[in-house]
Amino acid sequence: MATPRSPSIRNFFIAAVLLFLIHGVNSFYLPGVAPEDFEKGDELKVKVNKLTSIKTQLPYSYYSLPFSRPEKILDSAENLGEVLRGDRIENSPYVFKMREPQMCSIVGRIKLDTKEAKEFKEKINDEYRVNMILDNLPLVFPIQRQDQESPVYQMGYHVGLKGQYTASKDEKYFIHNHLAFTVRYHKDMQTDSARIVGFEVKPYSVKHEYEGNWNDKNTRLTTCDPHAKHMVVNSNSPQEVEEGKEIIFTYDVEFQESEVKWASRWDAYLLMSDDQIHWFSIVNSLMIVLFLSGMVAMIMLRTLYRDISKYNELETLEEAQEETGWKLVHGDVFRPPKNSDLLCVYVGTGVQFLGMVVVTMMFAILGFLSPSNRGGLMTAMLLLWVFMGLFAGFASARLYKMFKGTEWKKIALNTAVIFPATIFALFFVLNALIWGQKSSGAVPFGTMFALVFLWFGISVPLVFVGSYVGFRKPAIEDPVKTNKIPRQIPEQAWYMHPAFSVLIGGILPFGAVFIELFFILTSIWLNQFYYIFGFLFLVFIILLITCAEITIVLCYFQLCSEDYLWWWRSYLTSGSSALYLFLYSAFYFFTKLEITKLVSGILYFGYMLIVSYAFFVLTGTIGFYACFWFTRLIYSSVKID
């Protein structure tokens, strides 16, 4: 009765996952689906986001600096991914009227004390940028280059800058206190409504002056006066950041009609770098890897066909006794390895990762996880990881039963806990460091509790359900019988040493992804968008093929040299590509980033260690299953007396 019930349980949970994902589609932002129309004079509310710096990688909330504030600060609802990214979206005192230009609008003024002046100087020194949002579009600073017609956009604007007065060697700090906003809109030809398609800024540092006593509502500035048509066009008289200095915050708003349609408004944001090099490099890498993979596959197929034909033609006892190669170890090749329980756990975890990555990429390709949906990608990955625990438990239990294991609950618990606990412990330490820096990137207690609930409340039970279903199924039968006494492994050549072959095996899989890895690291650590998910999916497919083929080739050579300990080596061979990934991340750190603070460096290498560990589990599982299929195939294809 166990067999008929198992598929129904599995199908029920698969249906539950699909229903959850389908329901969750409503919360995803699809470009071109939910535009908002604005009539002339409608209020446009600008929201402020975190302060970011590529030098420290530590985000801070906007109001951690003494900027002008609205009467009441309101937090916007943020999803799980936004909180983990350090986003803190709040309202601002900047209020626009649709298609009604404003000049020299006063936001407020502050007088710096010692602490505030020090905070501003620190943020300017670390090159922090202010991020704002209007109608879900991030604020960008356009940079016009001579060799390009369209400008290059940078996210946000710098808090301030360092400079020197003419004929002075003393370095001063200046704040950007005047913002010239440009809101681009696309007007409907039939109605008078319009949609926002661009949000740009040009920041200036201006030492504002005024006559008489200060009055918040009626003060007229002499440095920026709309009545006298006196506009801010440069920073010839900049505003210093020093104790006791008075800073007045002002802004202009200009509205420009644009031919860009609402559905295409993100195109300019996504083309922030020279994508020709990007595309050429990816295609070149794919072609090389495909060519190598084709050659490997062809050699393997021809050699194996010859081996199997030769073994099956052996008829006399003398010929059988003289046989060499991989057939000779048929009585030991399926002997359970040492630490087989741990192998089952890591294989199950790898299946969980594989499922998460494939489904996430599918959603990304369909547009559900576009950059316009802040935090959507991370939220989707976390939820998919949790629900893929079902398949993790199933895979680990199936392998465990094949190894003649009997305690399925133990293997289920280890699968549900070992990898997440390692990651959570490392994440907790890194989060404590961020918390110590008083950064908004620190995950709040409530969010930490939500993560623990997802882990123990959903993922762990699903792993147990998957393990129960997997263990109830009949054990996988080996194609050949295993001898009672292990065969002695002959002395191996130096190039067949496990450490050497494992390290060699990771080079090709890493070579398949390292160019794409550069752009992924750039998007994460240099605050840029990553959006070419179609190419990423192709690279991932090539990674799968490469991991499988290089592991099969080295496994074949290993068996031919009469070494039958292939279980763990197959996992480590392709998994060793994670070592190269971590080494490349170190190279990227020293050549591309300008991080100088110790805490920021620890955070970088801590997070890259997590990424490398996950990559190890993913690629290792791919290599293991490729060898598992390969060995079962070849040993079931020859006649064993």
| pLDDT tens track for 386-399 | 999 999 999 999 99
Angle at 539 between CA 558 and CA 466, to 5 degrees: 70
Contact 176, 107 (CB under 8 A): no
Residue 217, token pair as written in the block: 């509502």
178-187 and 246-257: which strand pairing? parallel
In the predicted model, is pLDDT for residue 303 greater than 80?
no
pLDDT, tens digit, for every residue of 95-153?
888 988 988 888 888 888 889 899 999 999 999 999 999 988 899 888 877 666 677 78
Does the pLDDT of residue 24 top 60, yes or no?
no
CA distance 113 to 490: 78
Name the strand (E) or helix (H) holding 199. strand 194-204
- In 3D space, the residue among 353, 344, 338 whose CA is nearest the CA of residue 617 turns out to be 353
Residue 579 has pLDDT above 50, yes or no: yes
Mean pLDDT of 147-165: 81
Residue 130 has what pLDDT? 93
Q: Which residue has the tokens 């509205």?
A: 255
Helices (H) and strands (E) in the chain, counts: 18, 13
Give the ranges where 230-336 is alpha helix by DSSP (H).
267-270, 275-313, 317-321
DSSP state of 60: B
Number of other residues whose CB lies within 10 A of the CB of residue 300: 15
Give the model's pLDDT for residue 465. Answer: 95
Residue with tokens 């460096």: 601
Residue 270 corresponds to which tokens in the numbers above?
């996504």
Q: Which long-range contacts (CB under 8 A, 24 or more apart) does 457-462 make?
A: 458/386, 458/387, 458/389, 459/385, 459/386, 459/387, 459/389, 459/416, 459/420, 460/389, 460/413, 460/416, 460/417, 462/13, 462/386, 462/387, 462/389, 462/390, 462/393
**Half-sphere exposure of residue 493: CA atoms within 13 angstroms, side-chain side:** 8
**Euclidean distance between CA atoms 364 and 452, whole angstroms:** 26
Q: What is the mean pLDDT of the chain?
A: 82
- Please check whether residue 206 is in contact with residue 232, taking contact to mean a CB–CB distance below 8 angstroms: yes
CB 221 within 8 A of CB 251: no
For 202, other C-beta atoms within 10 Å of its C-beta total: 17
Distance from C-alpha of 616 to C-alpha of 357, rounded to nearest angstrom: 14
How confident is the model over 215-266, as pLDDT tens digits? 766 778 888 877 766 677 676 788 888 888 888 898 999 999 888 888 888 8
* Cα–Cα nearest to 266, from 182, 366, 199, 180: 199
Distance CA 261, CA 32 (A): 9
**pLDDT value for 349:** 95
